[in-house]
Amino acid sequence: MAASAPTPHGTGFPAEGRCGYYVEKKKRFCRMVVAAGKRFCGEHAGAAEEENARKRILCPLDPKHTVYEDQLAKHLKKCNSREKPKPDFFIQDINAGLKDETEIPEQLVPISFLSEEQMENLIKKLRKASEGLNSTLKDQIMSHPALHDALNDPKNGDSATKHLKQQASILGNIEKLKLLGPRRCFVEFGAGKGKLSHWVDIALKDAEKVHFILVEKVTTRFKVDGKHRKKNSVFERLQIDIQHLCLNKIPLLSKEKLPVVGIGKHLCGVATDLALRCLVETYAASCEERNEEPLAKRVKNDKTEKEINTLAKEGNEKNIPEKWTPVAGIVIALCCHHRCDWRHYVGKEYFRALGLGAVEFHYFQRMSSWATCGMQKTSLEASNISTKRKDKQNDGSEEHDDGGYRITDDSTESLPGFLTVEEKKKIGHLCKLLIDQGRINYLQQKGFNPALQYYTDPLVSLENVLLTALPNHSSSPETTA
């Protein structure tokens, strides 16, 4: 097919100043601007007769685009896909945990390949390991005045309202733990657009010396942190995987030496473990070894007595920790336990103490999705359901009749139908609880007072558990795991 041949689809000619190459897949001409006197853009110039002498090849760094073969060396020096120089705070696998290949089997079969006897043995192990754990957490659903107007905006859709309710509750819990105050640095892991830090900043108003570090490994559109240009708060975004992040090497933290508050909303699976290790091992342990100067002393050095008294009258000084602590607190909304990884998991010692290992962890983390994945009745039993019940089956909801129907989930790892809907949900919740209890145990071993609580209604989000932790010398959370 001739590159510039007229086509019956739309106009038969390219727009003025645009490439004359017809893209068959898109049924239109290429819309790239061409150089003066040229008919084709650089990407499609190879199709033009006058350019036949120059060959275009796929870029070795990113095969999604092409480059002239005779200009490859020059292109590789400026290609956007080239490896960028690593910043000082990038240290390969610093938060990854120890890699023990002997503990991880080369290949584990999917759950759907397990026999009924194997599944029953796994469930027995799970229930035995979960004995004594409180499976019903305390409701700690809160709000914050900073989000009052946003929550009551009539323009909000259902999705926006649900996110705002979660952000408001997380903010309320941060305040309840006395972590919402001046002279500290909030590190938001898995920041995305940066909405959580945005609301923390609004809630703090003009509090002095507040810094925000937003950690996100992918490029994000529609970021909100770029809108903040206040004098008293500083926003810094780091595009890096938490696995390689060394907070000690960030100039802002090494210079200011402010207490860090780790926050996150729906920090998926393995990212939670990486963030915990980043905070309490990589950062806190290193700072304590350097015997940092007490914060109260530095406050007096930096401020006059008059300014300190003014702060106290305004009620802000009570939120300044009396003792220097590298990590003042952790508030993370948990998510996606099925995406956890044994190598990075911080609760290995807890699992081993229960007689469990990498194999059990693998299946428990897969089974954890049963608590939230949504379930359907098997086709065999669905065919026996009366006409009265068919509407409930077709609406795709997660609510089911208490008829003891055999079920499968939407994933490829469906089971032989020997579990009821409620049994499967309970097993999923137990798996999540056991994994989280390993994190609680880890934080306790590291000198923190951790807690788990429900921070939002399950109708708002099925991932509704909040992990909080304060150093042992601070005020303890009211809720315990």
Per-residue confidence of the chain (481 residues) as pLDDT tens digits?
A: 444 444 444 457 888 889 988 888 888 999 999 988 888 888 887 655 554 567 888 999 998 888 988 899 999 999 988 888 889 999 999 999 887 655 666 678 888 888 889 999 999 999 999 998 988 899 999 999 999 999 999 999 999 999 999 999 999 999 999 999 999 999 999 999 999 999 999 999 888 889 999 999 988 888 888 777 666 678 999 999 999 999 999 988 888 888 999 999 999 899 999 999 999 998 877 776 665 444 444 444 444 444 444 444 444 444 444 456 899 999 999 999 999 999 999 999 999 999 999 999 999 999 999 998 765 443 334 344 333 333 433 333 333 333 333 333 334 344 446 788 889 999 999 999 999 999 999 999 999 999 999 999 999 999 999 999 999 976 444 444 4
Q: Are 418 and 390 in contact (CB under 8 A)?
A: no
- The tokens describing 80, both together, are 């956007």
If DSSP codes are grouped into helix, strand and coil, which group holds residue 266?
strand
Q: Which residues pair with 23 in a beta bridge?
A: 28
End-to-end, the C-alpha distance of the chain in Å comes to 68
Q: How many helices (H) and strands (E) are present in the chain, helices listed first? A: 15, 13
Q: Which residue has the tokens 């309710």?
A: 165
Distance between CA atoms of 19 and 28, rounded to whole angstroms? 11
In 229-354, where does DSSP find H-type helix?
251-256, 269-277, 284-289, 295-302, 305-314, 348-353
Distance between CA atoms of 189 and 262, rounded to whole angstroms? 7
Q: What is the CA radius of gyration of the chain?
A: 28
pTM of the model as a whole = 0.73
